A and B are shown apart, each in its own frame.
Chain A
Amino acid sequence: MSRIAVINLATLGLLIGGALTAHLTGHAFLVTLATKAAIFALAGVGLNFALGYGGLVSFGHAAFFGIGGYVTGILASHAMSGQPLTTLPYTMNGTNEMLAIWPMVLLVSGLAALAIGALSLRTSGVYFIMVTLAFAQMIYWFAVGWPAYGGEDGLSFYVRNAFPGVQTMQPLSWFLICAGLLLMTLGFTAVVMRARFGLALQAARRNTQRTVAVGIRPFGIRLTAFVLSAMITGLAGSLYADLNRFVSPAMLSWYMSGEIMVFVILGGVGRLVGPVAGAMLFVTMEHLLGGISDYWQVLLGLVLLGVVLWSPGGIVGMLSGRGRGHA
């Protein structure tokens, strides 16, 4: 087994093993903390798809995280109130079934990314960063000014949505759902990045002209990657909404975009389990240091600075030694 495979398994083992241990020793709160890490990791895996593998530095992924959250919250609140979402052209009711919510989340965040990506991918570098940020801020202010779904105060729903055969309010069951989705997405990412599409995406990150010269159009590949990336992050947003049973414009803010980026950079840009390691470290620091001081992010900043300066491959890069961008 290669060193990177060991690191991948160890990281995932730490997350899942940690949650199981916490459950067995009766620390339900720590199970929920692990769930939060798994959800943040999923959001990071989504961003890593575009940022790490495709070199598309999106500073607007909170848009998709928030869209996932709002779709979930809106469907759940309509299911709760019994009011249909719309009666035109036909009646559409809310739902509290995760298996119905998730496809909707994937669809809406994918469509949003298609529109945002089609426009922002015409730029690159710092302009791309700014355009993605601008779109996310537009959606943020839209949510703030949308009183039907709580506006600035956000939207609560009191019962976590349902999954067939599972008591989702039970912390370990809920963790296993989130971890399961995380594992499936990691598997999907690993397969895609070894396929011709993923290879072309990584090739285009390094040299657009050389990619064109072998007959590949980078725009199409990048747009597809951006949409897939947004769908994954949107799904994470849906889970985050269910975790808190609450959505608010904070999920859409540029601050959230920055946090998702921190998971990726801390863990290792373009490393398969990088965002998992990054999200785990983030949540752990938030929990341990956040209890000591409200200014714990000063320390987070120092850690981030250290990683960027001394280990650009993040935690995973540091542990695996010098190596390739993905494995």
Chain B
Amino acid sequence: MSRLLEIAGLQAGYGAVQALFDVDLTVDQGEVVALMGRNGMGKTTTIRTLCRLLPIRSGTIRFAGTDLGPLPAHRAARLGLGLVPEGRRCFAPLTVAENLIVAARPGPWDRDRVEALFPRLAERRRQPAATLSGGEQQMLAIGRALMTNPRLLILDEATEGLAPVVRQEIWSAIAALKGQGLSILLVDKSLREIRAVADRAVVLERGCSIWSGRPASLTAEEADRYLGV
């Protein structure tokens, strides 16, 4: 398997506050990697730095053979980083279809394929994104990232705050994407689902990557220590 993403010795932060001290992380082609850790340990900071939304203080990020360090965020995105950010997720004033069109870049993913993955989006095509439910907005955010035809789909807390039924729909979509060979980096807290879908997990603690391996091999004691609140 060829290496798609390689983060080494990454340090980053916000102003005077350093949040990442030493993060190592790799994703191979076709691999699903889960980034785990308690709140405030640097998961979202890692992703924001990877997507060039935060400056790199030290360390390197190589993606698809390119050093991301000198690139502005929009160029990094065009290289194939498909971010689904956490929180409120869509372009509210645009309709569902427009949210997808605006992100479109050439490749196998188009509106038909996104709507096949999330049939609910097809039903709501002409509706303003602001009127969607939280789960539908999350589907739209994933669809929008897929429309950019990413080489790596990055999901930051994609199922947080959603109803259990909707979470299940999102997880099955993620599994389907994995089945289609898409490389995925995801941040999530639900160990059970991660065990089912992720090939590998990386645990962050206080801004450092401290554990990496198959999620199934994470012992209950480790899970409690690293992920328990």
Contacts and interface: CB of A to CB of B under 8 A. Distances in A.
B92 A213 contact: no
A181 interface: no
B80 to A, nearest CB: 9
A209 B53 contact: yes
For A200, A206, A214, A325, the residue with the greatest tally of chain B CB atoms inside 10 Å of its CB is A214
Nearest to B104: A196
Contacts of A326: 93
A203 interface: yes
B145 interface: yes
Given A196-B102, A203-B102, A209-B53, A215 B94 contact: no
Interface in B139-190: 144-145, 147-148
Interface string B185-221: 0000000000000000000000000000000000000
- The binding surface of chain B is classed by DSSP as mixed
B93 A213 contact: no
A214 B103 contact: yes
Contacts of A212: 53, 72-74, 77
A215 B93 contact: no
**Of residues A196, A210, A325, A326, which shows the largest number of chain B Cβ atoms within 10 Å of its Cβ?**
A210
Contacts of A293: none
Contacts of B147: 214
A7 interface: no
B91 interface: yes
Contact of B77 (A194, A196, A215): A215
B37 interface: no
A216 B93 contact: no
A205 B95 CA distance: 15
A122 interface: no
B85 interface: yes
Contacts of B148: 214-215
Interface in B73-110: 73-75, 77-78, 81, 83, 85, 89, 91-95, 98-99, 101-105
B145 to A, nearest CB: 7
B68 interface: no
Contacts of A213: 51, 53, 73, 77, 81, 83, 85, 145
Interface string A153-196: 00000000000000000000000000000000000000000101
Contacts of A205: 93
8 contacts: A203-B91, A206-B91, A206-B93, A210-B85, A213-B53, A213-B145, A214-B145, A214-B147
- In order of increasing CB-CB distance, the 7 nearest A-B pairs are A215-B77, A199-B102, A214-B103, A203-B91, A215-B78, A212-B73, A325-B93
Interface of B: 51, 53, 72-75, 77-78, 81, 83, 85, 89, 91-95, 98-99, 101-105, 128, 144-145, 147-148
Interface of A: 194, 196, 199-200, 202-203, 205-207, 209-217, 270, 323-326
